[in-house]
Amino acid sequence: MLINKAYKFRIYPNKKQEILIAKTIGCSRFVFNHFLALWNDTYKETGKGLTYPSCSAELTQLKKKQDTIWL
């Protein structure tokens, strides 16, 4: 019989760490939503989704654009 065990830890970040965590989560949310929309559009047009290499290349280009330089 397999028994899974989990531990929960409470963290107490300071204000600077809270801001960094919020920014990181915000960037992750933006990137996820961007690629979800891109995947949906590609799937509707071609019937196939995106591959990891194409998403990786797109993310690199997304980071270089002036309006998303904050990524």
Does the predicted TM-score (pTM) go above 0.85? Answer: no
How far is it, in rounded angstroms, from Cα 64 to Cα 70?
A: 9
pLDDT at residue 25, rounded to an integer:
97
Q: What is the pLDDT of residue 40?
A: 96
pLDDT, tens digit (0-9, with 9 covering 90-100), for 55-64: 999 999 999 9
**Cα-based angle 34, 36, 39 (whole degrees, multiple of 5):** 110
How confident is the model over 3-51, as pLDDT tens digits? 999 999 999 999 999 999 999 999 999 999 999 999 999 999 999 989 9
What's the Cα-to-Cα distance from 28 to each of 21, 22, 52, 66, rounded to whole Å?
A: 11, 10, 16, 18
